[in-house]
Structures are given as C-alpha cells and as structure tokens.
Amino acid sequence: MFSDHLAGLNPEQLRAVTLAQGSALVLAGAGSGKTRVLTTRIAWLIAGQRAMAANILAVTFTNKAAREMHTRLSVMLPINPRGMWIGTFHGLSNRFLRTHWRDAGLPQTFAILDMQDQLAAIKRLMKSLQVSDEKFPPRQVQAFINSHKDQGLRAEALKPHDAFNAKLTELYAAYDAQCRREGVVDFAELLLRSYELLSSNEALREHYRARFSHILVDEFQDTNKLQYAWLTLFAGPHASVFAVGDDDQSIYAFRGAEVGNMRRLMADFQVAEPIKLEQNYRSCGNILDAANALIQHNDGRLGKNLWTDAGAGEPVRLYRGWTDGNEAEFIVDEVRALRRDGHALANMAVLYRSNAQSRVLEHALFQAGLPYRVYGGLRFFERQEIKHALAYLRLVASPEDDNALLRVINVPARGIGARTVENLQTASRERGCSLWQAACGQGGGRSAASLGKFVLLIEQLRQDALRLSFAQLVSHLIDFSGLRAMYQSDKDGGEERLENLDELISAAVSFAPEDPAQIIAEFLAHASLEAGEHQAGAGEDAFQLMTVHAAKGLEFDCVFVSGLEEGLFPHENALNDRHGIEEERRLMYVAITRARQRLYLTQAQQRMLHGQTRYPLPSRFMDEIPPALTKNLSETMTAGLSSRHAPATTRAPAARSSGPARQALPGGWCIGQSVAHPKFGVGVILNAEALGEELRLYVNFAEHGAKWLDMRFAKLTPA
C-alpha cells in the first residue's frame, strides 16, 4: 500500500509531499531526506490520480540523481516511470530538441559536442581564421562562450568594452556559425537553443504548459539565470512548481549558480513561506549545532536550524599542528586509531579547500602504508601539470629520456606538430640514437628552427641547474618552460593547476635527499614511488581524500576538515569580498555536515605554500563554533586561535614538544600584531611568507583592505 510510504515521513516531510495545490519551496537541510520527499511527492500525485505520469517534469542536477529517482519510483508505483520526463537540464533539453529538431533549425541526427570536442572545434576555427592562440587561448575562448550561453546571451547581444572582448565576441559569433553549418551543439547550446525555441514558438510553449502541470526541481540553489528562465517558460502561470534546495549549501557561484533564484521563485510563484525540513537523519547533535552556529553568521538566509533526535554524540575535535606535516601526521595517527576501533577506512575522509593540499596528506599516508583514494581527481603526482613539470626535470637530469621529451616537446605549444615529431622518431630509428640526439642533429627549415629552440631551452635549464638550489630550479623551470604562463591563460581550471605547481615547489623546498649530489634523481624516484603505490584498487577499503566541493552529497562516519587557516579556508580570493566570505562559509557548512559521528577540524601554525613558509592565522570559522561543542587535542594553541579554546587534553606534536605562546616571525614581527604604514594606515598582520631572508607580510588595513607587503621595501612600523 502506498500509505505505508507516507507513514514513514516526519510531519514536515508529510506536509511537503501532500501539498494540495500551488507552488512550494522546500528548504531541505543536509541529511533531511530531500530525495525521499521528491520521489514520494511524485508517487503521491500519481497514486492519488492528481496527475498522470505524462504531466510531470522532474529536473535533477546529475544523471545519478535521475537514475535514483527512476529506481525509487519503480519500487513505489506499479508503472514504468520512463514515460515521465525525469532528467538533468541538459538531458531534458536534448530530449526536447530531438522531438522538435526541425523547429530548432537542427538536423534530425545532430551531434553533441562534449567539452573536449568543443575545445577542438574552437581550435580548428581559430586556425582557419588565423587567430593567435597565445593572445586568445582556446580555453579562455571556450569559457567566454559558455559563460555567456549560460546567461542566455548570444554574441549579437554583447557590448564589448575593449578590443580584446570585441575579438572574443567575434569568435563567439564565428563559432556559433560553424556549429550551425556542421549541425552540432555543445552542452550549453542544448539549454539555450531549447529556451530560445520555447520563447519564440507560442504554440509549442502552450502545448508544454498544458502538458506539465507539475514541475519538480532538485538542488534548486544551484540553478543559474538561464536554467531559471527555462523552468519558468515550461511552468507558465498555472503549473505547480515544487522546488527543493538549501540556500546554506549554495557553493557554485563560480559556475554561475544564483542563490537568489530561491527568493525569486517565492515572488514569481506566490510562495508565502518555505517548508523547512530541519530534522537531520545523518549527524549527531554536536555536529549539527556546530554547523548551525557557523552558518548563522551569513546574512540574508531563508533560515533553518538542523536538529536530530539521535543525541549529542561526540564533541567536535580541534587540532593545531606546528607545521602542515605535523597536521598530516596527526590525521594519519587518528585514522590508524579509528581503524583499530573498527571503523572501515572507506567510512573516513579528509576534506580540503584546495586540491594542492593533498600532496602532504598523500605523503603521510604513503609513509604509513595506509591505502587511500583521491575521490573525483588524481593523486598529486599523477596530475597533468605535475607530470609536465617532472618531465622537464627528467630532461634536466637526462635529455636522453625519450618519454619525457615526447611529453613536453610541444607543451606549451611551440610550433612542433605531429608531423615534425614523426620525422624526429624516424630519424632516431634510422640513426639508432635517442630523440634528443636526433633533435640536436636536425638540419634547416622551419620545423628544425622550432626544434632548435626547444633544444636550447633544455640546455639552458641544464646550465641553470648548476647554479640554483633544487627548489629554485623547480620554480625557475616552471616559469622558463612556459608552463606557468600557459596555465595563467587558462581560465577554466588554470588556477587550480597553478596551485598544484606551487605545491610542487613546496615539495622541492622540504625534500631531504640521502645524497645531496643526487637530489634530482632522488626526487624523481620519490615522485614515481608515491605515484605508483597505495592508491587503492576498485572495491578495496581505503581512506578518502577530496576537496570540499567534491564532497557535496557524500557522507562519512568520520570526517577531517584540514587546512583551516585564513587565506586557505576561507580562500584568500574571498577575503576582501563579503559575498565571497559567505560562500566560503557555506562551503565550510557543507564540510561539517558530511560527518555522521565524529568531526575533526585541523590547522597548522606554519605551512609551506607556493614554495614559501607562511605563518597563517587560524580560520575565522573556528571562532564561530561555540567552545562548549569542542574538544581541543593540541598541546599549545598559539596566537590567533581564541583563548576560549583552552586545551582539554594534550597531544605532543611531531616536530617539537612545546612552543611560544605567540610565534615570532623573522624580523621580530608577530601574527596578530598591529602595524602602521605611511600610505595605508593602521592594520593587523594576518599572514606571512618567508623564503630565506626575504619576508612578505599579509596585512589587513582598516581603510584599504588586505595587502601583501615585501618587507625589503615596505616602511612598516609597530602601531
């Protein structure tokens, strides 16, 4: 009986599922059973003959969520749910355009370009138009096109403010024309083309408005401008829109998500108050209280307060290590202890704000012999940019390394195409020599000139290696090879790759070889070993590593949130923007609510970032958690962490057993110290970087915001 499904709902879930008429916004907190509410709502509509399956349009954000909804409905109802329109925005748009291909101006068998296909098409277009890919990097062109499509804007609607954007707009128009000629569409085009067709074709629009009397949307807080407009076209003035989301988990503003769509829905569809699902079925009380206390510091929330009847559970554990290495060792020690207590590794995870943070953690896990898995990404030494940099380093050590040469001979692009490489390989086979020797012996011609420049680049790096320290060599190699410039121009993922390259410099700084004369060879061996072992195989019990963004939608018994320092989490890009800080806080809220039973929040007093030693302040998010909910596992909590977090237990740090109450920086400066600058006025030192005798201070000035100051030149005095 279907009534059995209703019997298991709590009062607010039941209210949402059985809403008789009108539209609704369901504010569903983490672990509150939103998927169950959505599917039961659909089943209730059909089982009670309030709607037919064909009258329902259900939109999810992932194919996995759509499949789960199909599966649950097939269990709940004696019907085949495949007749319903259930899928992602892109999947449903594809279905719509396949049906109305002629009206959309598409061939019946139109092809869909994935991101790589789209990038290849843009490169081909730029080559035909003789547009420099150095001045206009193809990935930047791709990001420009897709971002404007996501806003519902064609090239002709744009008003570029400078010559650079004018050229990007011109390329957008040319790309659109090329796609129309070839009868292909990219992902962003699916949604935009279906929106344009519904907008312009009144008969078609009214047909679908008459058909879909009930529209249900999952993860509504992640919708962008175009997706909202697409939904309103299908809904019209009479459809019941049932949107489920959580404004406190809106963490995709960088992808165009607009959390304001939730309030917009309430205004456009006459929703007086949201239905709040606040009972949590995942986490213990202390974890939920910590999350509630944190998120209350954000303004403009729709407002909810998670609770559970499962009891308070364990306190939130705090740990501050002396270094990032100590922090990683603490996490490994705790994982070992939890494993001995019967927790499976797969039920434990460490979350971090930046992907580059995984290196230190991976190293500690490797040393401990604990199997691990990097969820939603590659291990540090397997990442594309790291393998490129290591290939250059291998060529410095031995230019006869054919595999390394083939990897980077045209990375970044330097005019050495596939034909030139094939000719080089042929010459190598015929002469019985390495590719390097063949490259050195090339004659004249355009391709030979490009090869000659590559040879000179490697030779220069080999000479530089004789005068530079190892860390300086790695930093110089990244710059001199062109890798840094290449990723700086990449607006789609380039920032993350640059962070990983900077972390490689940090790894070089901290690397301690057995034989200093063989430091390059030993480091390359170290990288190969850590890349080749301890990544768990399929089905193997393994500790989980992931970014906080990748963790959304997942849950674990035990969660470690690492790197809780100002400039890291919250990220330094957000420090001067109120909206940026609020999104970072929502991200922290997501991290906290991944934990079912036990939550650790960890940080370091000293961290190697970008190859430089930093002395960061603890994250403000730590002070936003009430002390009554926490237990301190650090021996000494130094300046920057509120004194209210007095140690409850002691734990000896790995590197040293005691430390000063306030850690001094080179030159006698201190984190948290008030300082004065002749131009910027009075401020407070928030962070620092030290490399040898060089010192940079990160100072937050009352009137001019936060700035990095080079102490070789800055006229800073104690305030």
Hey, which residues are catalytic here?
A: 34-35, 218-219, 249, 594
Is residue 535 within 8 Å of 379, Cβ to Cβ?
yes
Sheet with 275-277, edge to edge strand ranges? 85-88, 56-60, 214-217, 240-245, 24-28, 275-277
How would you label 12-51 residue by residue, b for 16+ Cβ within 10 Å and e otherwise? Answer: bbbbbbebeeebbbbbbbbbbbbbbbbbbbbbbbbbeeeb
Q: Given 3-state DSSP classes, what are the helix, strand and coil percentages for the chain, each rounded to the nearest 5?
A: 50, 15, 35
Q: Which two tokens stand for residue 115?
A: 């991101």
Is residue 433 classed as helix, strand or coil in its secondary structure?
A: coil
Residue 489, Cβ density class (10 Å: 0-12 exposed, 13-18 middle, ≥19 buried) = middle
Query: In this structure, what token pair is assigned to residue 635?
Result: 């021996």
Taking CA atoms, 691 is separated from 608, 610, 612, in Å, by: 10, 10, 5
**Rounded CA gap, 186 and 31, in Å?**
34
CA 461, CA 478: separation in Å to the nearest integer?
Answer: 11
Q: Cα(568)–Cα(364) distance, rounded to whole angstroms?
A: 20
Q: Write the CA distances from 556 to 143, 170, 473, integer angstroms.
A: 34, 48, 41
Neighbours of 80 (CB within 10 A): 11
Distance of CA 566 to the CA centre of its chain: 18
- The per-residue DSSP string of 222-263 comes to G--HHHHHHHHHHHTTTPEEEEEE-GGG---GGGT--TTHHH
439-444-448 Cα angle (round to 5): 40
Rounded distance, CA 469 to CA 516, Å? 10
Buried b / exposed e along 441-459 (16+ C-beta atoms within 10 A) = ebeeeebbebbeebbebbe
Kindly state the helix (H) or strand (E) to which residue 111 belongs, with its residue range: strand 111-113
* Helix intervals (H) in 441-551: 446-464, 470-480, 483-488, 494-510, 519-532, 548-551
Q: Report how far apart, in Å, the C-alpha atoms of 223 and of each of 73, 244, 591 are.
A: 24, 11, 21
Torsion on CA atoms 205, 207, 210, 216, rounded to nearest 10 = -60
What is the spatial distance between Cα 42 and Cα 60, in angstroms, rounded to a whole number? 14
C-beta separation of 599 from 285 below 8 A: no
Tokens of 309: 């009847």
Look up residue 210 and give its two tokens. 């008459």
Q: CB neighbours (10 Å) of residue 183?
A: 14
CA–CA gap between residue 24 and residue 227 (Å, rounded) = 18
DSSP letters, 609-647, are ETTEEE-PPBPHHHHTS-GGGEEE--S---TTS-TTS--
Q: What phi and psi, each to the nearest 5 degrees, are found at residue 11? A: -55, -40
CA distance 594 to 548: 9
> In Å, how far are 101, 417, 427, 440, 454 from 423, measured between CA atoms?
46, 10, 6, 13, 16
Identify the CA nearest to 383 among candidates 505, 496, 490: 496
